[in-house]
Amino acid sequence: MGATITASNNAVGQELASVLPQDNKHWYQRAHLIKLSLIVLSLCQFSSTNGYDGSIMNGLQSLPSWQEFMKSPTGAWLGFINAIYWLGMMVCSPMASVISNKYGRKTNVWVGYLCLVIGVALQTAAPNDITFLLARLFLGACSAFFSNSVPLLINEIAYPTHRGIVSAVFNTGWYCGSIIAALVTFGTRNYSSSWGWRLPSLFQILLPIVALPGFILCPESPRWLVAQGRVEEARAIICAHHAGGDESAPLLNYEMLEIETAINAEKLAKHSSSYADMSKTKGNRWRLAISISLAIFSQWSGNGVVSYYLAIVLTTVGITGATDQLLINLGLQIWNLIFAVGAAFSVDKLGRRALFLASASTMLVSYIIVTGLSGSFAQTGHAATGVAVVPFLFVFFAGYDIALTPLLVSYTCEIWPYTLRTKGLTVTWVTAISAIFFNTFVNPIALEAIGWKYYFVFIIVLIAMGITTYFFYPETRGYSLEQMAFIFDGEDAAVMEPEKTKERAASVAHSVEVEGGAKTNTVTYEEKV
């Protein structure tokens, strides 16, 4: 029991942990938490969808049939073919934020499904390269709608002690999709017809179909419902999914009071949800700096070269066979998944800062070695030196996976208050996509022009990442979404202090009257807020 309490304190803090069920049952012994976990697992498949769509180009570039169809693109043209997916995501991300705030998180996902169907149909049946590009644009738009809403849904419906882990697990689903994409392209590598690349294009629809049943069962965000004045609907959702239907559960009263207090305080303080509001206070400027810098580090730490141009990188060190390149790509994706998931399950035990700092250090050391080996191979042409680059690419990605994969989305979601959460996530995505767009367009040109010397740019970025995370990224372990304001806003936090929230939740805990066999809630709005 003591270990369970300690784990809960690590995840949500002592006050919230004290109102959790004290019957010593594990989550998998509670039917409502099993159902909620399966729903969240389904939602993580949307990240797998993004991973498949976003990484399929790496495999297609190694397929002779695709190279023939696209007339063997190189340089700027190849960069544009890869970048147009991210252009679609960047253009549609602000629109996705508006829809998510106005019409709900789930509506946004349905729009994503529509874009997905159009994109998959166009890419699979593409008669020419222009249609292929248009398809990639729609698939990027699909990713924008999925990426803006699903992480918010996971954060806002997750059981309190699970939130840190499941929100971090979301982005690791990217590698599940990339593994499937690597397997499919490996399986079709010897197809002589255009189905060698059309079949992988068609399979982009499969993961969203797998996710659909869980998404249909998923409730709308209780926080969004409270913000719309639909408090009783929000209460019913938290009661069903967190309290197992127990209307008198201390956890239910605590969560509802905390959510309503925070959202109503933001409204009373006239906190708008405009982008301009993101820079009006010291706390918001701090959040904004983190959101932008984290997005830049996630794409300019050197991963962009390997993620989208692995075939070129391997060719520069003497590994030129399509089968060898595809097998290394597949192995790398499996490696990534293992480390990313392991890190996601460690966010509450080790903390966010420890993962960020370990990530920056590991990537920096390995990238210096990769740069040195690549330079040596360029000078000597020694095959063993070129092959030695491969294991250090794996070490580099282990470093990337322990922080920048699981925390890019989850850390951004948890540091922003409700009124700016979708905007904060949008800023992160647009910044990351801008960096990706630049990388995918510029990287092949730079690699073609100066080869391995281009790696020095990323060494400088990794040094900057280590310094920035050490001085400016706070630890968020042990805080609920509403309590994050104490870290960034201090005395100006528009939420009630945790201990006072606990006391007031207890003082207004539902007095339940039995009238004709039905339970009636007698707590008024004024008593709560």
Average pLDDT over residues 291-307: 85
If you average pLDDT over every residue of the chain, what do you get?
A: 83
**Residues 6 or more apart whose Cβ sits within 8 Å of residue 461:** 296, 297, 300, 301, 302
SS3 512: strand
- What CA–CA distance (Å, rounded) separates 411 from 352? 8
CA 427 remoteness from chain centre: 13
Instruction: Choose among 412, 147, 175, 436: nearest CA to 303.
Output: 436
The model carries a pTM of 0.81
What are 367-400's pLDDT values in tens digits?
888 878 777 766 776 767 767 777 888 899 999 9
- What local confidence, expressed as pLDDT, does residue 384 receive? 73
| Beta-bridge mates of residue 520 | 513
Q: Indicate whether 499 pLDDT > 60.
A: no
| Averaged pLDDT for residues 3-21 | 67
Phi-psi domain of 107 (left: phi exceeds 0; alpha: psi -120 through 50; beta: other) = alpha
Q: Which two tokens stand for residue 291?
A: 């959101």
Q: What is the pLDDT of residue 309?
A: 56
For residue range 350-366, list pLDDT tens digits in order: 999 999 999 999 999 98
| Domains of the chain, residue spans | 24-218+280-491
Q: How far apart (Å, rounded) are the C-alpha atoms in residues 28 and 435?
A: 41
Please spell the DSSP secondary structure of 210-234, one letter per residue. Answer: HHHHHHHHPPPPHHHHHHTT-HHHH
Average of pLDDT values for 136-151?
93
Name residue 521's amino acid: N
CA distance 271 to 260: 15
CATH topology of domain 24-218+280-491: Growth Hormone; Chain: A; (1.20.1250)
Give the integer Cα–Cα distance in Å for 523 and 501. Answer: 16
- Binning pLDDT at 50, 70 and 90, where does residue 310 land? low
pLDDT number for residue 122: 95
Which residue did the predictor score with more confidence, 400 or 449?
Answer: 400
Packing angle of the helix pair 418-450, 75-103 (nearest 10 deg): 180
Higher pLDDT pick, 80 / 476 = 476
Q: What is the pLDDT of residue 182?
A: 80
The pLDDT of residue 264 is above 90: no
pLDDT digits (tens, 9 = 90+) for 217-244: 999 999 999 999 999 999 999 999 999 9
Handedness of CA 58, 295, 331, 370 (dihedral sign): positive
Q: What would the two tokens of residue 255 be?
A: 């969560």
Contact yes or no for 320/457 (Cβ under 8 A): no
Give residue 502's pLDDT: 52
- pLDDT tens sequence across 182-195: 888 888 888 888 89
What are φ and ψ of residue 73, in 5° steps? -65, 145
More confident residue, 304 or 177: 177
Tens of pLDDT, residues 85-108:
888 988 999 999 999 989 999 999
